[in-house]
Amino acid sequence: MRLGVAGALVDGVHRAGDVEVDRDSGRVTAIGLPRPGRGIAVPGFVDIQVNGFAGVDFLTADVEGHREAAEAMALTGVLAHQPTLITSAPDQMASAIATADKARSTTVGSRVLGAHLEGPFLSAERRGTHPVDLLRIPDVDLLRRLLAAGLVTQVTLAPELPGALVLVDLCLSAGIIVSCGHSNATAAEAHAAFDRGATMVTHLFDAMRPFTHRDPGIAGAALTRDDVTLGLIADPSHLSSEAVRLAFRAGPARVVLVTDALAAGGCKDGHFRLGAVEFDVLDGVARKQDGTLVGTTSTLVEAIRHACDSGVPLDEAVNAATRTPARFFPDADLGLLRPGDRADVVVLDDGLGIRAVYRDGIPLG
C-alpha cells in the first residue's frame, strides 16, 4: 500500500519519494518511490512524559482507562508512550505502576513502554505541582518497593538530595533511565549525577534552578554536556521560542520533545485532577488555583509545530519526537522509517497537521 507522500524522514534524514507499507507483515517495504504525492511520512511519535489523556489520569486509571487513553493518543500520532506518575502516596504509586504494567499488553493504540516515576524524590524548593507533603528524601527501600510493583523504565529525581546518587546506582543496575528534574541542584551537583550515569533532564528549564552566568545550575550543566538528553516541553505557556531554540542549538540530536500532558489533554476546558492535585484548564492552559502550571493539554504534533515556529528545522523537531526518544528503547522497534522497520507511521500534511496514522501498517481512525 502506497501512502501518497512527497517524502519521508528516513533514519532522521529527509528522503524524497513515496513510501510503501505492507499491512500483512506490518512493515515498511519501500521508500523513495516515484510518482510521489503530498505531505511527509514520519515515524510514529514517542512521548516519554505523559500523565494522562482524554479524561484519563494514569495515577488512578484502570487497565481500560489506559486503553482508552492509548487509543486517543494514537490518533494524535503518539504510537508509544511512558505513563508518567507524579508524586503520590507510596501505595498509590505502586498500584499505578502495577496497572500500567498490565496495560502493556494492550493491542490497540499507543504502546505502553513502562512507567516513568516523576517523584517522590524531588526538591521541595522546585516541586512545581507535586504535593510537598508527599515528597521523600531518597529511600532505597521505598524505591525497591516501587520497582517491584511493575515495569519502571524511567525515574526522575533531584540529584542534590542526600542519598540521591545511591538511587542512581540502583536504577542503572536495573536498566532504568535516570533523569534529573524538579531540582535545585548547582552545576557541580548536576555534573556529579551525570558522571554517575544519569543521562537526562526532565523538562529543561521548568521546575529547576534558574540559569545565571555565575550559577548555571542544572540547566547549564545539561546544555554543555554531549552525554545528556534534554527533555523539553515545547509549549508556549512553558517555554519561550528563544528557550526552545537554545536547547536545539546546544544539542539538536539530544532534545526529546515531551508533552507532560494531563487527563485534560484532548478535552475541553474545565476542572480536572492529577492524582490529589486539582486544577483548571482555561484556553488550553492548566493551572492550580494559585497559578502554578500543571503540565499541558498539548499533543506532540503541536510541540513539533511550536518548535518549528520557534525556528527549529522540521527534521530536528520530528527527530526529537521520534528517533531520539526511541534510542532509550533499542529493542522496541520504534522511531525509524526504513525498509524492514515496523510500519508505525504518521503522515503530516504541508501545514504539519495529521493526515493519517498507521499502526503496523493499518490506518487508525
Written as nine digits, the cell of 166 is: 545511591
184: which residues sit within 8 A by CB, 6+ positions away? 123, 125, 126, 158, 160, 208, 209, 217
Angle, vertex CA 88, rays to CA 106 and CA 64, nearest 5:
20
- Exposure of 45 in the CB half-sphere (CA atoms within 13 A): 31
3-state secondary structure of 146: helix
Alpha-carbon span 356 to 346, nearest angstrom = 6
Quote the strand ranges of 136-202, DSSP E. Answer: 152-157, 177-180, 200-201
Tell me the residue type at 342.
R
Q: How many CA atoms lie within 13 A of 306 on its CB side?
A: 23
Which residues are annotated as catalytic? 260
Note the maximum CA span of the chain: 61
**Beta-carbon count within 10 A of 24 CB:** 7
Q: 280 - beta bridge partners?
A: 271, 287
Q: In whole angstroms, what is the distance from residue 147 CA to residue 319 CA?
A: 30
* Residue 148 exposed, middle or buried by CB count within 10 Å (0-12, 13-18, 19+): exposed
Half-sphere exposure of 232 (CA within 13 A, CB side): 37
